[in-house]
Structure 1
């Protein structure tokens, strides 16, 4: 199968889900290295065909590409359903982004107030991800695109990446606090 044929097949699968749920979100193919994403400013679902296939192959359980694409499309539509909340978070997201551009990782991980902002970003991301998955589950319940088991497996794998990064930074935060206590003693 040619690269163009596979890309069209993926696009068509995404489009079919969007049409079936009755939403009007644009689809854009990109080469971002992110399997699928929802851009709430532009109100579109982006997908990187190569990364989408790679991400599916990283799953521990054998799940077809079709099921993976349907599930991830539902997830991105779940973000679209939460667009107002995403837009409301933009000012704080910009503040955190600006902080990260102005400070090195070493500075961030050695200053409590900066690391606290990183934790806040993780918490916001996890909340947005969980809401998108809840919305996706509701859409899947109505339209029965994929089995509940397959949906849950993909969801858990996806959420784990966000939670793992958060837990690593929580540990770094506690380590930083412990260092401050030792220095005060």
Structure 2
């Protein structure tokens, strides 16, 4: 199958879910390297066809492409349902983004207050992800796109990626807190 046909097929699967749940949502193909995303500022779902296929294949027990794409589409629509909360987080998100632009990763991991901001960002992301998955679950229960077992498997895998990064940074934060404070001479 050619790349253009695969992209069209993915678009059609995503669009079929959006239409079936009765949402009006623009769908944009991008080459961001992120399998799927919801842009709450522009109110659209983006997808990277190549990355979407790669991400599905990274699962230990990959479902069909259709099941994976439908599940991830429900998840992104779950973010759309939570759009107001996402919008209200924007000022703090901008503050954290600005901090990350002003400091190297090395600096962030050496300063407690900077690393705590990174942890705050992770915590916000996890909360938004969990809410989006809860909303996606409700949509799936209503419309029966994918079986519960496959939905839950994909959800657990997706959440694990966010939690893993958080746990790594939390460990770095605790390590930083346990460092001896240099004594001034």
Which TM bucket (shorter chain)? over 0.9
Separation of aligned partners in 2, 1:174 and 1:180: 12
Separation of aligned partners in 2, 1:74 and 1:124: 20
Q: What SS does the aligned partner of 1:51 have? A: helix
- 2:97 matched to which residue of 1? 97
Q: What SS does the aligned partner of 2:74 have? A: helix
TM-score norm. by structure 2 comes to 0.97
- 1:57 matched to which residue of 2? 57
- 2:14 matched to which residue of 1? 14
Q: CA deviation at 1:65?
A: 0.2
- 1:142 matched to which residue of 2? 142
Matches within 5 A, 1:63-78: 63-78=63-78
Runs of 4+ in 1 over 2 A off after TM superposition: none
- 1:111 matched to which residue of 2? 111
Gaps of 5+ in 2: none
Is 1:131 aligned with 2:131? yes
Gaps of 5+ in 1: none
Separation of aligned partners in 1, 2:136 and 2:98: 31
Q: CA deviation at 1:180?
A: 3.7
- 2:40 matched to which residue of 1? 40
Separation of aligned partners in 2, 1:137 and 1:70: 12
What are the Cα deviations for residues 106-130 of structure 1, in whole angstroms up to 9, with x where unaligned? 1111111000000000000000000
Q: CA deviation at 1:141?
A: 0.4
Q: What SS does the aligned partner of 2:46 have? A: strand
What are the Cα deviations for residues 147-177 of structure 1, in whole angstroms up to 9, with x where unaligned? 1100010001000110000000000000000
Q: CA deviation at 1:61?
A: 1.0
Separation of aligned partners in 1, 2:46 and 2:14: 10
Q: What SS does the aligned partner of 1:24 have? A: coil
Separation of aligned partners in 2, 1:138 and 1:180: 49
TM-score norm. by structure 1 comes to 0.97
What are the Cα deviations for residues 77-136 of structure 1, in whole angstroms up to 9, with x where unaligned? 000000000000000000000000000111111111000000000000000000000000
Q: CA deviation at 1:2?
A: 1.1
Q: What SS does the aligned partner of 1:109 have? A: helix
Q: CA deviation at 1:32?
A: 0.5
CA RMSD, aligned part only? Answer: 0.9
Is 1:163 aligned with 2:163? yes
